Structure 1
Amino acid sequence: MKVEEKGHTVIIKDTQGDVKIFHDKITAEYNNYKEKNIILDMSQDNGISLDVLLSFLPLSNKHRKAKKSFVMVASDIEYSDVPDEMVVVPTLLEAHDIIEMEEIERDLGF
């Protein structure tokens, strides 16, 4: 797991290729990141299923309820199957764009 902070955002990248271990580490260390917007970069993990992404839903809901962004980067996924309450994008650049838009929405009171 590689962690990189950029301003008000933390990018957490899965480096082991085991999403279950990645999920467990993020959940265990969540308090270290709860004040920042979170990007989970799983773009290097091939064959991620929707079920794997859904395992992050409780953490995503908790983080978004605290008025912070939670964006997952995953390739090779059918994005139309992802529930509306989750944000999953294909690239890191799009993840940053989503966070920027959500920050503006929060600043405007939406």
Structure 2
Amino acid sequence: MKVDQKGHTTIVKDTQGDVNSFIEKVTRDHNSFKSQNLILDITHDKNVTLKDIKLFSELSKTHKKGKKSFVIVADGIDFNAVPTKLIVVPSLQEAKDIIEMEEIERDLGF
């Protein structure tokens, strides 16, 4: 797991390719990320399935209660099948763009 903090956003990258252990680590360390917008990059794991993505639902819900963004970067999945409660994008740049838009929405009171 590699953690990179830039401004108001923390990017956590899975370096092992094991979604289950990655979720455990991020959940365990969540207190250190809870005041930041969070990008979880799981593109290293080429075998990620929609079922794996859905495992992030509870963590996403917890993180969003703090009025912060939670975005997953994944590759090779059907983005149309992802539950609406989760934000999943194919690239790191798109994740940053989503966070920027959500920050603007929060500043405007939406």
TM-score, normalised on structure 2? 0.98
Q: Write the distance in 2 (CA, Å) between the matches of 1:83 and 1:14.
A: 21
Letter in 2 for 1:86: L
CA shift, 1:80, in A, is 0.4
Q: Secondary structure at the match of 1:12?
A: strand
- Give the match for residue 28 of structure 1: 28
- Give the match for residue 92 of structure 2: 92
- Structure 2 gaps of 5+ residues are none
Question: What RMSD in Å do the two structures reach over aligned CA positions?
Answer: 0.6
Identity of aligned residues (%): 55
Task: Report whether the alignment pairs 1:77 with 2:42.
Answer: no
Task: Kindly provide the CA deviation profile for residues 8-65 of structure 1, in whole angstroms up to 9, marking residues without a partner as x.
Answer: 0000000011111111100100001000000000112102111111111001011112
- Aligned residues between the structures: 110
- Give the match for residue 48 of structure 2: 48
Contact 2:16 2:44 (8 Å CA) reproduced = no
Q: Secondary structure at the match of 2:35?
A: coil
- Give the match for residue 63 of structure 1: 63
Relative to structure 2, which stretch is displaced further, 87-96 or 41-50? 41-50
Q: Write the distance in 1 (CA, Å) between the matches of 2:66 and 2:17.
A: 29
Task: Kindly provide the CA deviation profile for residues 44-103 of structure 1, in whole angstroms up to 9, marking residues without a partner as x.
Answer: 210211111111100101111211000000000000000111000000000000000000
Task: Report whether the alignment pairs 1:15 with 2:8.
Answer: no
